[in-house]
Structure 1
Amino acid sequence: MGLIWSLIVGGVIGAIAGAIINKGSSMGLIANVVAGLVGSAIGQSLLGSWGPSLAGMALIPSIIGAIILIAVVSFFISRSA
């Protein structure tokens, strides 16, 4: 049940981050989950584990990390296209 809960929270974090930088409509469910999970790791390694936590992920640093990840990936995808 812990893995499923982490995937759900990761998807929500990725969707929030995509909505904040207006890339949420072009991302699918899998991309939201990946952005949320990887963004959580990036955010917590850069900013630490402060603020409210859910499924082992600090929400505020995780959202900031997902925003950074989506912005960097979008930058490189738009440059290559």
Structure 2
Amino acid sequence: EEFWLERFLANGNATDVDVRGNDYQLLPFGAGRRLCPAINFAMPTLGIALACLERHFDWGLAVGTCLEMGEAPGLTTPPSTSMRLVPRCITT
């Protein structure tokens, strides 16, 4: 019941994972003969959907939390704690 990204990554590396059904680590659109026919539409549309979420909501931290800027060790310096955002509807 919890999203755990690391289970989809081979050796913690996401650069070689193909979401179009060639790798069996992550199959959001299926694979083989059952491949989603709308994959060529869905991949570019994903960026538009994220842009719409950013435009229509005011994103902020949950009440009573503060932004932790610590870094965990690693090549890409990931954050030491996860950040949870709360969307607030923008009224026009």
Question: Smaller-chain TM-score range?
Answer: under 0.3
Q: Please give the TM-score of this superposition, normalised by the length of structure 2.
A: 0.25
